[in-house]
Chains A and B, each alone.
Chain A
Amino acid sequence: MTSEMFRLVIFDAILAAVAAIGFAVISNPSRKAIFVSALLAAIGHSLRFFLIKSGLDITLATFVAATAIGLLSVAFARIIHCPAEVFSFPSLLPMIPGMFAYRTILSLIKFMQNTDSKLDQVFIMDFFHNGMTAMFILFALVVGVSLPLLLFPKSSFSVTRKY
């Protein structure tokens, strides 16, 4: 990893942490959970950024990043005694394919309004490209983050147990 690349990854991590804090507070978690989700988002998002820059496609990179977040969140859940999803879901929020999602709808609106039959194909291609990407990223996020939950269900569900 060159120093230029390293600088970009760190920059990405910091921005992702700020984004995660803001999007997390909407769902009103405890203060400890906010900090952990910022940390996890920084790790996950910068990992995804690095993988995409290394040539992986966005869905696969998202899956790897979400799995990393999922595994770390089980470890953190044991430390701060709170269910893993309380901070692992907010830390996924910066990776939610929001732009792909609304571009899907926008291209549908464009398709409906369009009168030029040549442009029709462009809008339908846009619709499928954006829609499929959004759906696959969403599945990659959720399957990745819940792999630990599916693999070790017992330990994941009992973290709030005190005795």
Chain B
Amino acid sequence: MIPNPELKEPDIHEVADLLTEVASTLMTSGAHTSRISQNVSRMAETYGYQVGLSVFQLSIMMTITSLENSHERITLIKKTDPLLINYTIVSDLSALSWDTFDGKITFEDARELYQQITTKKRISRWAVLLLVSFANAAFCGLFHGDIYAISLVLFATMAGFLIRQEMIKKHINHLVVYTTSAFVASLLAGMAYVYNIGATPDIALASSVLYLIPGVPLINSILDIIQGHILTGMARLVNAISLIVCISIGLFSSMLILGLEKL
């Protein structure tokens, strides 16, 4: 900590408000638990406080204690928003916590920067749609699907992902979103069976739903578990598995309609 004479000591309530905001935003943006607690403790230390932090799936709990006067302490619980992965925020907030720690910015600056970071625009949804479609088509190629399978998967993914984007915009339950999106994508890819397109209809069907697999939550959950945050890790794992179950149900429904026994 670099002592800075111009720095006005911020009030404990203000610090606690900012830190709970930062922690819950990091949780929403898909940071793993130990990064959340490192970033928050680093900022708190700069202002002369110590934090104890518990991270759960739906809320975070934080006790903040003054290092000089241990009677001055408060505990806050804050609800976290549903997961919307945003690595730009994770990266920027990590940088913000170091800037704070190195004494380069005042508390007021930090609060303003936090506002700027969280209101940055995301990548355009159409660009995401196009790139995800090509990614899933490339994935079909990785499993040795032929060119017919690849182009079919491209269109199936485009339709499935578009439906997912629209449904998320209307705030429909995310389990329903995943099931519907998987159903539509796999039904379209299953047309390879109906019209005998290409030599590898099985690969087209099997890789058509892979864009939905919640990769980052799965990685975060295992990382949390091996770093000792077992409860949070299990919560994330169960969440990811329930999404995978929904994907399977969507896929299974279209296999039922197409009359396919085995994938």
What 0/1 pattern do residues 77 to 106 of B give for CB contact below 8 A with A? 000000001111011001100110110100
Given contacts A103-B263, A142-B222, A142-B226, contact A28 B209 (CB under 8 A): no
Q: Which parts of A6-27 form the interface with B (CB within 8 Å)?
A: 12, 15-16, 18-23, 25-27
Q: Does A109 contact B (CB under 8 A)?
A: yes
The CA of A35 and the CA of B213, in the complex, are separated in Å by 22
The CA of A143 and the CA of B225, in the complex, are separated in Å by 11
Q: How far is the CB of A127 from chain B (nearest CB, A)?
A: 12
Task: Say yes or no: A89 contacts B88, CB within 8 Å.
Answer: no
Task: Say yes or no: B86 contacts A25, CB within 8 Å.
Answer: no
Task: Say yes or no: A109 contacts B85, CB within 8 Å.
Answer: no
Task: Say yes or no: B135 contacts A20, CB within 8 Å.
Answer: yes
Interface class of chain B by DSSP: helix
Task: Say yes or no: B209 contacts A161, CB within 8 Å.
Answer: no
Q: Does A56 contact B (CB under 8 A)?
A: no
The CA of A109 and the CA of B252, in the complex, are separated in Å by 9
Q: How far is the CB of B176 from chain A (nearest CB, A)?
A: 17
Q: Which of A29, A146, A158 contacts B88 (CB 8 A)?
A: A29
Task: Say yes or no: B98 contacts A21, CB within 8 Å.
Answer: no
Q: How far is the CB of B202 from chain A (nearest CB, A)?
A: 11
Q: Does B248 contact A (CB under 8 A)?
A: yes
Q: Which parts of B199-258 form the interface with A (CB within 8 Å)?
A: 206-207, 209-211, 213, 215-216, 218-219, 222-223, 226, 244-245, 247-249, 251-252
Q: Could you say which of B5-13, B53-61, B67-75, B136-144 contacts chain A?
A: B136-144
Q: How far is the CB of A74 from chain B (nearest CB, A)?
A: 15
Q: Does B133 contact A (CB under 8 A)?
A: yes
Q: Which parts of A120-163 form the interface with B (CB within 8 Å)?
A: 138-139, 141-143, 145-146, 157-158, 160-163
Q: Does A33 contact B (CB under 8 A)?
A: yes
Task: Say yes or no: B132 contacts A138, CB within 8 Å.
Answer: no
Task: Say yes or no: B128 contacts A106, CB within 8 Å.
Answer: no
Given contacts A18-B135, A83-B91, A98-B210, contact A27 B85 (CB under 8 A): yes
Q: How far is the CB of B262 from chain A (nearest CB, A)?
A: 8
Q: Which of B94, B132, B141, B247 contacts A22 (CB 8 A)?
A: B132
Task: Say yes or no: B32 contacts A85, CB within 8 Å.
Answer: yes
The CA of A160 and the CA of B138, in the complex, are separated in Å by 33
Q: Does A93 contact B (CB under 8 A)?
A: yes
Given contacts A28-B86, A106-B263, contact A22 B135 (CB under 8 A): yes
The CA of A21 and the CA of B245, in the complex, are separated in Å by 25
Task: Say yes or no: B226 contacts A30, CB within 8 Å.
Answer: no
Chain A residues within 8 Å of B99, by CB: 162
Q: Which parts of B168-208 form the interface with A (CB within 8 Å)?
A: 206-207
Q: Which of B86, B95, B123, B215 contacts A96 (CB 8 A)?
A: B215
Task: Say yes or no: B206 contacts A96, CB within 8 Å.
Answer: no
Chain B residues within 8 Å of A101, by CB: 213, 244
The CA of A127 and the CA of B154, in the complex, are separated in Å by 29
Q: How far is the CB of A89 from chain B (nearest CB, A)?
A: 5
The CA of A148 and the CA of B141, in the complex, are separated in Å by 31
Q: Which of A20, A106, A158 contacts B98 (CB 8 A)?
A: A158
Q: Which of B90, B141, B218 contacts A15 (CB 8 A)?
A: B141
Task: Say yes or no: B215 contacts A23, CB within 8 Å.
Answer: yes
Q: Which of B95, B135, B223 contacts A146 (CB 8 A)?
A: B223
Chain A residues within 8 Å of B223, by CB: 142, 146
Q: Which parts of B99-156 form the interface with A (CB within 8 Å)?
A: 99, 101-102, 104, 122-123, 127-128, 131-136, 138-139, 141-143
Interface residues of A (CB under 8 A from B): 12, 15-16, 18-23, 25-30, 33, 45, 81-83, 85-86, 89-90, 92-94, 96, 98-99, 101-103, 105-106, 109, 138-139, 141-143, 145-146, 157-158, 160-163
If A30-B91, A98-B210 are given as contacts, then 12 extra A-B residue pairs at C-beta distance below 8 Å, sorted by A number, are: A16-B142, A22-B136, A27-B86, A81-B95, A83-B91, A86-B91, A96-B215, A96-B218, A105-B244, A109-B248, A142-B226, A161-B98
